[in-house]
Amino acid sequence: MNKIFKIRTNLAFNIVSAVILLLIFFSLIVSAIGYVSFTNAFYREYRESTCNMAQTATLLVKADNIDTYLAEGGTSDEYLQSQKNLDKYCLKMDVSLVYVIKVDTSDYGRFTSIFNSVGRNTPYSPWKLGYQQDATNDEYIQVYKDLYEGNISNGTIYRTKDLKGAPPHITTLVPIKDTKGEVVSLMCIQRPMKELKDGRRPYLINIAISTVILATIVALLCTFYIRREFVNPLRRIATETDRFAKENKKGDELGSVSKIHEISTIGLSIDKMESDMLRHIENLTAVTAEKERIGVELSIASTIQENSIPNIFPAFPAREEFDIFASMTPAKEVGGDFYNFFLVDDDHLAIVMADVSGKGIPAALFMMVTNILISDRTHMGGTPAEILTFVNNNICEHNRADMFVTVWLGILEISTGKITAANAGHDDPAIYRKGGQFEIFKSKHDLVVGAMGGIKYKDFEIQLNKGDKIFLYTDGLPEATDKDNKMFTLDGMINVLNKHKNKNPEGILDGINESVSEFVGDAPQFDDLTMMCLELKDDKCLKTLTVDATTENLATVNEFIDGFLEMNDCPLKEQMKIDLSVEEVYVNIANYAYGDGTGEAEISIENNDGEITIVFKDSGVAYNPLEKADPDISLSADEREIGGLGIFLTKKNMDSLSYEYKDNQNIFTMTKRIL
Amino acid sequence: MQLSKKLEGNKLTITVSGRVDTITAPEFEKYINENIESITELILDLKDMSYTSSAGLRVILKAQKLMSAQGSMTVINVQDDVMEIFDMTGFSDILTIE
């Protein structure tokens, strides 16, 4: 099947078949034309020569005496002589019949035979004088009539098919006129037409043979030509393109493959295309390799940049006075935004938020320099204004690239909550006051760092109280754009901040990131997105107590818990339930965690918007009190066991309990909503 | 926690006030054990007992078991919060509370 299809789609085969078909068609037309013109010429020639014969034969008959012959019954010597002459003539001319008839001129439908001579090899027997017969058909009647009336000088009737055993023949009729010029009878000669058949067949065979020979020659020539100028060149081109597609390597040039201009052009074009393509492949390989190298370097640069700023959280697990969280999402591998925070001393935390003009590697390099300068200078002491003044002068001195950076630098005095800050053209932070909302804190903006040397920056102060939060960001946040080019906007940012205002800094940043991702959707991130949130923690929020796990210390634990609950306005009823639960869990730890020895128990209590969470940690033997079955409280006093009620009471009095064993510690957590 | 007693023949009334917790419960238990010999009717007046943990419940259950062998025990003047704990633990069914 495949092979047949291949042949059918083969160019040479198709063209040659078309040529052969065309020639066959052509020869059929030629044969048909030849057949018709041969037949016509034969008929004309036959008619004329037979007509001449008939004319000649009329001379052998004495027209004036025809009626006399009929009357006498053909006994006169003259009649017999004429009959004899006609017989001789008939044989001489090799015709089938020579006969003379007298037609009944009333309707020309009947005739009487006068003379009748029959030739050799004919199926006829001669008619006697006076023999009468109806005209063979209307054609004869018409010819008889026309001849008698003088409309035509001779008539011819063709019988091309065998008729009553007679071979095809023509009958030519000429009038015999008497001396007065009247038509008295008709001279008819019937002549066989076997010459037509004999002549036409070889003629047709000749035409057929010569056509076949001609067709073969033309087809061969055609094939040869097509193969040389079309098929072979195209095959070479096909082979070469196939090879090139597979190998992608330089091969022999095709050059001029054919004398036909169009085909030759294809070959030359393919040569050119191959060399062009090879050059492009080479270029592309080089470019790709270079791109990969840059990619690897960028990824390393990205890691270096990420690690140049604090990125492990919680950043200060030992400090309970504040909580800080920050994130940086560069638009490209490396970014120009940065945040930083570090303890200058035990009571001072520096926080930096900055945005370098531009993006990518130049911005990243500029960012590294600025960040190092700021943090080094901050460690040397001084106010943010002094630090920025120094950093600005330093950068301007070497700033050949005309880059600049906006900086918000603040130093928090942890014990008092006072932030001293300076703003070099950076976006104003948002501040959350405990119990209130996030709001933009407007301050005086000084010139961006790196624009002009010799500028004096000015300090301003922000007082943070316990429970307050400050949120710093770069313009990538309010200017985050969705696919319709709509911006997230400052109002959008404040809205989202307030939606998450009660969360800790990490929760707030997660909330913002989620909202921004949702807003931006599939649109590409255009600018770096950097933000930082600092919370000055409320003492009321979290307290931790670590004691030796002994029953004697229950009083200390109670005092710690009660103190916290009272500060958080816990209703007495709930306080009692919490006290009870704390006692049961703590006493359990004191009695069993460390066996006969002693160890520590850490108790932390936290208030999240009216939900109290208490976590007990000890390093004693792993024990999950929640696995203990509840006592059957339906038993009678005598049947009830003494004890086993502690954890049951805890379960009943708290909202939720959970236990895990992690890092060799039993961690038991319980929560209860009090407000 | 403060404890006091009033003896009327074989009837003893013990008044408990303040918190009965893990630390104070042993004292409460000792106080009962020392005073119920030849007592047939024990009254526990919890009018001023504001708090009890499972340690306190344990003492009360022990007392109930002892007293059911030698007489009877009645608990009176139970504060609401404590009563809630008695209900929670099924103690309200096994104690005679008035």
Average pLDDT for A134-144:
88
In chain A, list all ranges with CATH 3.60.40.10.
315-536
Q: Domain A59-192: state its class.
A: alpha beta
Contact present, A480 and A527 (Cβ < 8 Å): yes
Q: How confident is the model at residue B17 (pLDDT cuts 50, 70, 90)?
A: very high
Mean pLDDT of B68-90: 90
Long-range contacts of B15-19 (CB under 8 A, 24+ apart): B15/B45, B15/B47, B15/B48, B16/B44, B16/B45, B16/B46, B16/B48, B16/B49, B17/B47, B17/B48, B17/B49, B17/B50, B18/B48, B18/B49, B18/B50, B18/B51, B19/B49, B19/B50, B19/B51, B19/B52
Look at A649 and B81 and tell me if their CB atoms are within 8 Å. no
Is the predicted pLDDT of residue B94 greater than 90, yes or no?
Answer: no
Mean pLDDT of A492-512: 91
pLDDT above 90: residue A669? yes
Give the whole-angstrom CA distance, residue A127 versus residue A115: 8
Average pLDDT score over residue span A50-64: 87
Using the predicted structure, report yes or no on whether residue B70 has a pLDDT greater than 90.
Answer: no
Q: Which CATH architecture has domain A542-673?
A: 2-Layer Sandwich (3.30)
Considering chain B, what is the average pLDDT of its residues? 90
Q: Which of A554, A573, A643 sits opposite B58 (nearest CB)?
A: A643
pLDDT reported for residue A370: 93
- ipTM score of the complex? 0.88
Q: In A, which residues are within 8 Å of B54 by CB distance?
A: 584, 643, 645-646, 648-649
Total number of domains in chain B: 1
Task: Using a CB–CB cutoff of 8 Å, tell me whether A639 touches chain B.
Answer: no
Residue range A28-42, pLDDT digits in tens = 888 888 888 888 888
Give the contacts of A272 (CB within 8 A, at least 6 positions apart). none
Contacts of A648 in chain B (CB under 8 A): 54, 89
Q: Pick from A401, A455, A396, A454: which is nearest to A423 by CA?
A: A455
Q: By CA distance, what is B91's nearest residue in A?
A: A633
Can you tell me the distance from the alpha carbon of A358 to that of A352, in angstroms, rounded to the nearest whole number? 19
Q: Where in chain A is the domain with CATH 3.30.450.20?
A: 59-192
Inter-chain residue contact A554 with B85, CB threshold 8 Å? no
Mean pLDDT for A567-577 is 88
Asked if the model's pLDDT at residue A1 lies above 60, the reply is no
Distances, alpha carbon A263 to alpha carbons A221, A238, A268, A466, A581, in Å? 19, 12, 9, 88, 97
Please report, for the domain that includes residue B25, its CATH number: 3.30.750.24
Q: Using N-to-C axis directions, what is the helix angle for B25-35 and B54-70, rounded to 10°?
A: 10
Mutation target for A interface from B54, B81, B83: give the one with most A CBs within 10 A. Answer: B54
The string of pLDDT tens digits covering residues B26-57 is: 999 999 999 888 889 999 999 999 899 888 99
The distance from CA A462 to its chain's CA centroid, rounded to whole angstroms, is 58
From B5's Cα to the closest Cα of chain A, the distance in A is 24
Q: What is the pLDDT of residues A234-275, one digit of tens each?
A: 888 888 889 888 888 888 887 887 888 888 888 888 889 889
A431 CB neighbour count, 10 Å cutoff = 19
Rounded to the nearest 10°, the torsion over CA B78, B80, B82, B84 is 120
Assess whether pLDDT exceeds 90 at residue A376: yes
What sign does the dihedral A437-A438-A440-A443 (CA atoms) show? positive
Q: What local confidence, expressed as pLDDT, does residue A375 receive?
A: 95
Residue A199 has pLDDT above 80, yes or no: no
* Identity of the amino acid at A313: F
Per-residue pLDDT tens over the stretch A532-542: 999 998 766 67
- For A132-149, letters b (16+ CB in 10 Å) and e give eeebeeeebbebbbbbbe
- How many angstroms separate the first and last alpha carbons of chain A? 87
Please report residues of A whose CB lies closer than 8 A to that of B68.
637-638
Q: Per residue in A210-242, pLDDT tens?
A: 877 887 888 788 888 888 888 888 888 888 889
How many CB atoms neighbour CB A595 within 10 A? 10
| pLDDT band at residue A166 using 50, 70 and 90 as cut-offs | low
The CATH number of the domain covering residues in A315-536: 3.60.40.10
pLDDT band at A66 (very low <50, low <70, confident <90, very high): confident
Phi-psi region of B78 (alpha: psi -120 to 50; beta: other; left: phi over 0): beta
What is the DSSP code (8-state) at residue A553? Answer: G
CA A139 – CA A158 distance, rounded (Å): 10
More confident residue, A318 or A12: A318
Residues of A in contact with B85 (CB under 8 A): 580, 649
Least confident segment among A157-171, A248-262, A298-312, A502-516: A157-171
* Predicted structure pTM score: 0.49
Listed by number, the residues of chain B in 20-49 with a beta carbon closer than 8 Å to a beta carbon of chain A are 21-23
Average pLDDT, chain A: 87
Q: Could you tell me if A555 lies within 8 Å of chain B, comparing CB atoms?
A: yes
Q: What is the pLDDT of residues A86-130, one digit of tens each?
A: 899 988 888 888 999 999 888 888 999 999 998 887 878 888 888
Size of interface A-B (CB pairs under 8 A): 65
Residue A8: the pLDDT is 66
A583 and B CB contact within 8 Å: yes
Closest C-alpha among A647, A654, A586, A571 to residue A620: A586
**A649 contact B CB<8A:** yes
CATH 3.30.565.10 residue ranges of chain A are 542-673
Structural domain of residue B14, as residue ranges?
Answer: 2-97
Contact status, residue A130 vs residue A100, Cβ threshold 8 Å = no
pLDDT at A2: 64
Q: For helices A261-307 and A232-247, what crossing angle results, to 10°?
A: 10
Backbone angles phi, psi at A299, to 5 degrees: -65, -40
Read off φ and ψ for residue A59, nearest 5 degrees.
-70, -20
